[in-house]
Structure 1
């Protein structure tokens, strides 16, 4: 089980490395990592588990955040239609995206970043993503809102990009052209 002590923090070299594509079938070790990543985000949303294991709540976690140079991440969240979105993405790609941008009004957070970094993080409002599930099944998903934002945040981790790299350095709360605010409250 992944605990907070297993999650590398900002400044760790693995967070700035671009991961390479994974091969199928996944090794037992990679299957376990996929399962552990998903288990972490599920557990981190369970108040009892958070308290028992001192977990920081999250909706996504990428392999580089546990010092694994693997092209995979896990998401677990509820979308705008109250559907649970819960999967591990292997070798994910965004194949198309909207012109319209979005951002979370309260800003983004990250399990690897202990401090609050203020500012708007521009993301695409809607994306079409492809990749593979851990059993090798290909997927193609159309995502919007928080699910699209989370997918892009985790995909950035696989490319050595941190969310705060997208924040306007001069004016963190500068208006983002063609963007619709996403309010998580």
Structure 2
């Protein structure tokens, strides 16, 4: 007998900004649960729904219609599901769109060199402007599973590496501003090679 999911995030559900959990909600501070493999239908549909949100948010007409803020990444706990999975939709250096689903991701290696976004990072769960540099590894190698449950290992550099680290932080209950220097938001870590992504 098939158990019906009580999640509203079915494949045809349209995520709006009201569905995005905002900072202060305890779910954003929890370490998310490993996702059971093979993926349950409800998890697959939630991922599909999350990816559709990113596509809608990056489409000017649909973003205006549904009043969406543009996003390049969305983790499951940002829609209230404490599950270790997220989606990413971002262009690479050559302008190609990279669409990626990650289930139970883990960073298995990273560069010593670091980068940061000069304008700080943004987050769909944070409605206020946050100023300061967020140090990230310049490249990361990630191991996990895709939407079909197949094991994947991918290396990311630059902007994609930043997005991946931001989303994996979400899954660990960490907000991007936790990584900003508390005394001086524009102070960079000492003793490491670090530069602005857009230098």
Fold conserved (TM > 0.5)?
A: yes
Q: Which moved more, 1:167-176 or 1:49-58?
A: 167-176
Equivalent residue runs for 1:121-132 within 5 Å: 121-132=134-145
1:95 aligns with 2:108: yes
Contact preservation (8 Å) 1:123, 1:149: yes
1:12 aligns with 2:25: yes
The ranges of structure 1 where at least 4 consecutive aligned residues each deviate by more than 4 angstroms after the TM superposition are none
TM-score, normalized by length of structure 2?
Answer: 0.90
Contact preservation (8 Å) 1:106, 1:183: no
TM-score, normalized by length of structure 1?
Answer: 0.97
1:133 aligns with 2:146: yes
Aligned to 2:58, the other structure's residue is in SS state coil
Deviations 1:119-149 (A, max 9, x none): 0000000011111011101111110011000
Match of 2:127 in 1: 114
Aligned to 2:141, the other structure's residue is in SS state strand
Contact preservation (8 Å) 1:128, 1:142: yes
Q: How many residues align?
A: 184
Structure 2, unaligned stretches of length 5 or more?
1-13
CA RMSD of aligned residues (A): 1.1
Aligned to 1:130, the other structure's residue is in SS state strand
Match of 1:182 in 2: 197
Bigger relative CO (Cα 8 Å, ≥ 6 apart): 1
Q: Distance in 2 between matches of 1:60 and 1:113?
A: 13
